[in-house]
Structure 1
Amino acid sequence: MGKIRLKNIRIHSNHGCLQEEMLIGSDYRVDLEISADLSQPAVSDKLSETVDYVHLNNIVKEEMAIRSNLLEHVAKRIIDRILLEINEVTEIDVEVAKINPPIGGDVESVSVNLRYTR
C-alpha cells in the first residue's frame, strides 16, 4: 500500500452562498491524498501501472470549476469522480479550503475535509 499526495492545488472558483461569491469568486486551496497499492509500479517504473497524479489534478480542477454552494458538496464530487475513474484507489482524503472567506473577520481560510474508504 502507498499514498500519493497533491498539496496546495490553487484554484479560483465561484463557490458559496453569497451573491458576490457567485459573481467574483474566491481563491481556493485543495489538498488531496489517495491510498493505493503502489508495489507494482515501484518495481516496474511504468506510469500505466500507477495512479497518475496528472489525472487526479485534472479531476480536482474540473470539479472545482462547477459551482456549488457548499465546500462539502465540491469535496464529495471530487471523491466520487476519483472512485468512478480510478479503480486502484482504496482511500481518499480531500480538503477544500476557501482563502480569505467573507465571514466578517480576519480569517485566513475555512476548510472542509472528507475521507472515504472503498
Structure 2
Amino acid sequence: MGAIRIKNMQFHTYNGVFAEEQKLGQRLQVDIELRLPIETQVLHDDLNETIDYGAVYQAINDFVTTHHYQLIEMLANQLLKHLTEQFDVSGITLTIRKGAVPIAGIFDAVEIEVSTDD
C-alpha cells in the first residue's frame, strides 16, 4: 500500500472555545496521508489513476475555512468524514495542529490525529 502525504498546510480559521479565538481566529496546520495501492493502481503515468493533490488541498481549504467548531477534535472528525466521501482511497490519516493554545507552559503545539480504518 502506498501513501501520498501533504504536510504542514496552514489555514487561518475561527475554531476554538474562547471568544477571542472565534473573533480573531488563528492559524491551524494540517497534515494528511492518503493510502492507496499506488504500486498496482498507477500504471500509465495518468493523473486519473491517482489522487489529484491540488483537489485534496482545495477540499481541505474549503472545509476548514468555512466550518467553525469549538473543538479541533470535532473539526478533525468532520473533515475526515468529508474527505472520505470525496476521495476514493483505502485510508486517510489526518493531523491538525494548533499552536496558540491557552496553556501555561512551554510547547510547540497541540495535535489531534484521526484515521479511517484501512
TM-score (norm 1): 0.90
**1:79 equivalent in structure 2:** 80
Higher strand share: 1
1:102 and 1:12 map into 2 onto residues whose CA distance is 17
Name stretches of at least 5 consecutive residues in structure 2 with no aligned partner. Answer: none
Runs of 4+ aligned residues of structure 1 deviating over 6 Å after TM superposition are none
Deviations 1:10-59 (A, max 9, x none): 11111000000000011111011010122232x21100111111111112
The answer to whether the Cα contact below 8 Å between 1:63 and 1:74 also exists between their aligned partners in 2 is no
Q: Does 1:69 align with 2:70?
A: yes
Aligned pairs, how many? 116
Kindly provide the amino acid, as one letter, of the partner of residue 52 in structure 1.
D
% identical equivalent positions: 27
1:17 and 1:9 map into 2 onto residues whose CA distance is 22
TM-score (norm 2): 0.90
2:25 and 2:104 map into 1 onto residues whose CA distance is 16
Name stretches of at least 5 consecutive residues in structure 1 with no aligned partner. Answer: none
2:77 and 2:53 map into 1 onto residues whose CA distance is 19
Task: Report the Cα offset of residue 104 of structure 1.
Answer: 3.2
Kindly provide the amino acid, as one letter, of the partner of residue 10 in structure 1.
Q
